[in-house]
Amino acid sequence: MSGSDSTPTGVISSSADRMVGMEHSEVRYFTSYDHHGIHEEMLKDDVRTRSYRDSIYQNRHIFKDKVVLDVGCGTGILSMFAARAGAKHVIGVDMSSIVEKAKEIVAVNGLSEKVTLLQGKMEEVQLPYPHVDIIISEWMGYFLLYESMLDTVLYARDTYLAPGGKIFPDKATMYVAAIEDGEYKDDKIGFWDNVWGFDYSPMKEIALTEPLVDTVEVKALVTDPCPIITFDLNTVTTADLAFKVPYEVTAKRSDFVHALIAWFDIEFSACHKPITFSTGPHARYTHWKQTVFYLRDVLTIEAGEKVSGYLENRPNDKNKRDLDITIDYKFEVMDENRFAEGSCFYRM
Amino acid sequence: MADSSRAGDPSAGDVPVDTRSVSEESDSSNEEGWEDVEPDEESQPVMSLFSEQVFPDVRSMLKDSKENYDFDLLKIQKDLGLDFLDTIKLVNYVRSQVKAGNKYPDVSSKSKFEDDAYLKPVLEDDALLYSLDDIAEDAQDAAPGSEAERKVIELQEELERLQSQFSEYRIAVQKSLEDQLSKEDETLGLNGTTSSEEIAANRASEIDADYFASYAYNGIHESMLKDTIRTDAYRDFVYENKHVFKDKVVLDVGCGTGILSMFCAKAGAKKVISVDNSNIIDRAREIVYDNGLGDVITCIRGKIEEVELPVDQVDIIISEWMGYGLLFEAMFDSVIYARDRYLAPNGLMVPSHATLRIAPYADPDFIASHISFWENVYGFKMNSMLLKIYDEAVVRGIHPNTIVGDSTVFLPLPLHTITVEELTFLKNFQVTLKEDIDALDGWAIWFDIFFMPSRDSDVPEDAIPSDMQKKGYVAFTTGPDGTETHWQQVVALIDYDKKKPCPLKKGDVIKGTIGYRKRSKESRGLDINIQWEGENTKGNQKWGLQ
């Protein structure tokens, strides 16, 4: 539903609100819940919440007496972690009306003195401090960048972060790998070939351009993963979020390839002892799952053979919140019956 | 997000779409199991049409059928003038009838087995189906093989014709789309190519633009089409009542991808007018054309209250208008409008009846995992998140064992006569608990849908879909006892406001009233009010559904 309303860039909303509209089939569930369900889902995402908690609680010496800014604070959980870790003051900012609830939650937990929550856009709210020592934010979207708040975090960094200040987390790396997914591809894409006896192929074209956010089993991986890009939040700029990068993946076994998948790892390198978590298929479930890009070809690959190409990502010119993704692939083998190359376009 | 290929993105054009879809089509027809199988030269064991007996070849089996079951396939084929596909249907029809216990299936007319459903083989690898060409040769000794050859040539010609039609059509669609877009650009004062999404976004001033936009996504259509309970019911009703649809003018309100319209067209409707206010109408138009039904079905984009139909009156209105809790989204108002404006005096509404049901709900596990959760989140109290939980009714699939008393109908909706005013109501209900419970956690609401073939047919107010099915009618339930549908059930949780709820006993009677009210004229949201009183329970609470 959020796909058609236009929100200016630089808007902050908790990632819960950003997620609404993602799983179209669930849209009405979440709206009927008034976004409740998504906050619950995110808080229950133990990998996510525990990583933030550990990176804050295990680094009390870093947080002690510091001024902390929580960008997109949602229910206020990260702000409260920082306050409990000894921060002098935490300012949480969120666009969404969830701030009202968050204020109540902060009060019930006796942290109102330490935590100030503001509802509004980052560019418009008045912070009580000219500079902050630490920025914390859970800004990541599906495919890391879909409806992500990263540009807002960068705005906050450039505007408020004191020299030498720290960002939690501060590194994100994206990966791709190839998977065998015949059965599900048939279910999602082949479905349109015969719908109650009718040919629905026009819908198939749309289905092929929509990346699918879903849980991929580790046994579906045909190749090793390939890191494609790392963002260092201390230095990255908004312009860097449009990129075209090469990839090359090598098959671990002989199998078919139906899709490429992408995921990301997150690192809190400002910690005394760096803390990381992964949203890959080999790691524990997170609500980010993985993003599946179906190829038009089915590749017949043998162990040791490589698929290579480029992944290009850029915000859509007309609707900045959409991503235009192009995946070029080349499967170069001597056997001309198996040789394949192509270019697929996706929009999410 | 969904419409990039239609918006004419250049990179999508790099891909050899047509080649690929043709090859996939032939793949899928292989899976059908009969079409592309080479006629077997060798004789193959084949199972009798009427018993489990296996014969060494088709000829001896047919001889046995003729002698012992008075069934002469070749004669029937000749008498009824059956072509290859008709004969396949005949075989499957007979096999399915025999399987169902009818040893003497009625084959007096072709109409008995004209349903395309009979194209699907009843037996896996049915040798009889593979050998139909051979027995046809036997029958027409004069010109062996000519029938099959003619068929191949015919099919080739048809394929070529369709291919050229399709490419013309692609060009036409692209052209008209470009025209349309450039026109819209002009009116919006924009230059260059504007995606249709953006045009839609620019129009978002309309309050319900979001609603129509959300329906343009694939995901929703996929989940609705894959909801077999829903789609099967419409299909079964239409295909089992072809006489009702034959030569009729049908209006499909909110047609989506056009599936119901195509069912009606296949069932023999003279004309089907399909109206939808979402971008999906462009897809529907293409799908209709791809399925060769473009002559019968006319797709029109717009609100039913505003569009101009090519006819003054229709014989049948078909619509899948049901929302969560039946009336969420208020699309039913548009269906009623269409009925009053277009339906002929003796016209038929499909479906014809709906009932809304309520039942007492107790689900300690859900309460523990979703309510108690907020009492301690990583060491913090978040109880204030709970306030909203009681303000909004939740759409969930609930387990039958959470329904702790028999459900009762609180509103029957006869679709031929109900008015918009009657959709805002306050009704009495009474339920009796069928087990002891620690607490009444809330109320569950769902609906049942009935398809009657005539507007005079009666449906009892407390009709149960499975009973109606036994009587041969098409009906389905969205309740917890049925197979899950995408509507699931609506759950309204009771807020005890920190007071501990009382345990209730089996046999306790709870009486109450339930009201539905639309949020406002513009909104598709709904307010539900329930007031109830029983031995140890009493309350009055309002929930939103939005």
Identity of the residue in B17, B226, B262 whose CB atom sits nearest the CB atom of A198: B262
Residues B105-121: pLDDT tens digits? Answer: 888 888 888 887 787 77
CA distance A49 to chain B (A): 8
Domain edge (last residue) among B144, B164, B195:
B144
Q: Which of A207, A4, A206, A208 is nearest to B7 (CA)?
A: A206
Cβ of B327: how many Cβ atoms within 10 Å?
27
For the segment B163-172, the average pLDDT, to the nearest whole number, is 57
Strands (DSSP E) found in B402-518: 408-414, 425-432, 442-451, 474-477, 489-493, 509-518
Residues in A 74-103 with any Cβ partner in B closer than 8 A: 75, 77, 80-81, 84, 101
What CA–CA distance (Å, rounded) separates B33 from B90? 17
The ipTM value here is 0.75
Within a domain: B472? yes
> Best mutation site among B218, B260, B320, B390 for testing chain A: the one with the most A CBs within 10 Å?
B218
Q: Which CATH number covers residue B497?
A: 2.70.160.11
Q: How far apart are CA A240 and CA A253, in angstroms?
A: 35
Q: Give the residue from B124, B144, B164 where a domain finishes.
A: B144
Query: In A101-149, which ranges are E strands?
Result: 115-119, 132-137
Q: Name the more confident of B185 and A148.
A: A148
Does residue B214 belong to any structural domain of this protein? yes
What are B63-100's pLDDT values in tens digits?
888 888 888 888 888 888 887 778 888 888 888 888 88
pLDDT class of B37 with cuts at 50, 70, 90: very low
Q: Is residue B415's pLDDT more than 50?
A: yes
Q: Indicate whether B425 and B474 sit together in one domain.
A: yes
With CB atoms and an 8 Å threshold, state whether A40 touches B370. Answer: yes
Mark whether B375 and B456 lie in a shared domain: yes
Residues B459-488 have a mean pLDDT of 95
Q: Is residue B430 part of a domain?
A: yes
Q: Is residue B185 part of a domain?
A: no
User: How far is Cα B326 from Cα B488, in angstroms, rounded to an integer?
Assistant: 11
Q: Average pLDDT of B439-455?
A: 97
How high is the pLDDT of residue B183?
46
Closest by Cβ to B388, choosing from A36, A203, A207: A36
φ, ψ dihedrals at A54, nearest 5° = -65, -40
Give all domains of chain A, ordered by start, each with its CATH number. 15-168 (3.40.50.150), 172-347 (2.70.160.11)
Residues B521 and B388 in one domain: yes
SS3 (DSSP) at B221: helix
- Domain of B65 in residue numbering reads as 46-144
Highest mean pLDDT, choosing among B105-114, B353-362, B381-390: B353-362
Do B494 and B422 lie in one domain? The reply is: yes
Measured in degrees and rounded to the nearest 5, phi and psi for residue A323 equal: -110, 135
B200 interaction partners in chain A (CB closer than 8 Å)? 4
In-domain check, residue B161: no
Output the average pLDDT for chain B: 79
Residue type, B51: S
Q: Which of residues 285-344 of A touch B (CB under 8 A)?
A: 296, 318-319, 322, 326, 342-344
Please report the sign of the dihedral spanned by the C-alpha atoms of residue B148, residue B151, residue B156, residue B159: negative
On whether both B446 and B521 belong to a single domain, the answer is yes
**What pLDDT sits at residue B522?**
64
Confidence of residue B201 (pLDDT cuts 50, 70, 90): very low
Distance CA B63, CA B53 (A): 13
Task: Tell me the chain A residues in contact with residue B197 when contact means C-beta distances shorter than 8 Å.
Answer: 3-4, 318-319
pLDDT at A13: 37
Return the percent helix, strand and coil in chain B, to nearest 5: 40, 20, 40
B237: Cα separation from own chain's centroid:
11
Which is the catalytic residue, given A138, A180, A267, A305?
A138
A245 touches chain B (CB under 8 A): no
CA A176 to chain centre: 14
- Cβ distance A28 to B324 less than 8 Å, yes or no, reads yes
Amino acid at A126: Q
Say whether pLDDT at B512 is over 70.
Answer: yes
> Cβ contacts (< 8 Å) between A206 and chain B: which residues?
2-6, 218, 283
On whether both B363 and B278 belong to a single domain, the answer is no
Which residues have a Cβ under 8 Å from the Cβ of A198 and sit 6 or more positions away? B259, B262, B287, B291
In this structure, the dihedral spanned by the alpha carbons of residues A47, A50, A51 and A56, taken in order and rounded to 10 degrees, is: 170
Whether residues B296 and B385 fall in one domain: no
| DSSP one-letter code for A141 | B
Q: What would the two tokens of residue B285 be?
A: 């138009």
Are A193 and B4 an interchain contact pair (Cβ–Cβ within 8 Å)? no
Q: State whether B21 and A80 contact (CB < 8 Å).
A: no
| DSSP per-residue string spanning A42-87 | HHT-HHHHHHHHHHHHTTHHHHTT-EEEEES-TTSHHHHHHHHTT-
The answer to whether residue B24 sits within a structural domain is: no
pLDDT band of B174, cuts 50, 70, 90: low
| Interface contact flag, A193 B25, Cβ < 8 Å | yes
Whole-angstrom distance, CA of residue B57 vs CA of residue A292: 50
The least confident of A213-222, A261-270, B27-36, B104-113 is: B27-36
Give the residue numbers of B annotated as catalytic, written as ranges.
320, 329
Any idea what the CATH number is for the domain that residue B310 is in? 3.40.50.150
Asked whether residue B316 falls in the same domain as residue B358, the answer is no
Residue with tokens 């969120």: A94
What is the rounded CA–CA span in Å between residue A342 and residue B505?
67
Expressed in percent and rounded to 5, the helix, strand and coil fractions of chain A are 25, 35, 40
> Closest residue of B to A146, CA-based?
B1
Query: Does B383 sit within 8 Å of A108, measured CB to CB?
Result: yes
pLDDT number for residue A11: 35
What is the rounded distance in angstroms from the CA atom of residue A292 to the CA atom of residue B211?
27
pLDDT, tens digit, for every residue of A84-107? 999 999 999 998 888 988 999 999
Q: B526 and B377: one domain?
A: yes
For residue B347, give how far its alpha carbon lies from the nearest alpha carbon of chain A (Å). Answer: 27
Is the preceding omega at residue B480 within 30 degrees of 0, hence cis? Answer: no
What's the pTM?
0.66
Q: What average pLDDT does range B279-298 have in this prediction? A: 93
Domain count, chain B: 3
Domain identity same for B519 and B385: yes
User: Residue B371 gets which letter from DSSP?
Assistant: I
Asked if B129 and B218 sit in the same domain, the reply is no
Say if the Cβ atoms of B283 and A6 lie within 8 Å. no
Residue B2 lies in a domain: no
B9 domain-assigned: no
Instruction: Report the distance separating Cα B298 and Cα B310, nearest Å.
Output: 9
Strand-pairing partners, residue B316, are B250, B348
SS3 (DSSP) at B366:
helix
pLDDT score of A256 more than 50: yes
**Cis (ω within 30 of 0) for the bond into B351?**
yes
Closest residue in A to B486 (Cα) is: A25
Amino acid at A134: I
Whether the pLDDT of residue B28 is over 50: the answer is: no
| Contact residues on chain B for A319, CB-CB shorter than 8 A | 197-198, 201
Chain A and chain B share a number of CB contacts under 8 A equal to 184
User: A92 contacts in B (CB within 8 Å)?
Assistant: none
Two tokens, residue A299: 């590749």
| Residue-wise pLDDT tens digits, B203-247 | 333 334 444 444 445 667 777 777 889 999 999 999 999 999 999
A198 vs B: CB within 8 A: yes
Find the angle CA(B296)-CA(B298)-CA(B303) to the nearest 5 degrees: 150
Say which residue the tokens 């609404």 belong to. Answer: A20
Nearest chain B CA: its distance from A342 CA (Å)? 7
Beta carbons of B259 and A34 less than 8 Å apart: no
Whole-angstrom distance, CA of residue A184 vs CA of residue A178: 14
Q: Could you tell me if B413 and B525 lie in one domain?
A: yes
- The mean per-residue pLDDT over the stretch B457-474 comes to 94
Q: Among B12, B194, B384, select the one facing A105 at the smallest CB separation.
A: B384
Angle between helices A201-209 and B280-290 (to 10 degrees): 140
Beta carbons within 8 Å of A238's beta carbon, 6+ residues apart: A151, A154
Per-residue confidence (pLDDT) for residue B230, from 0 to 100:
92
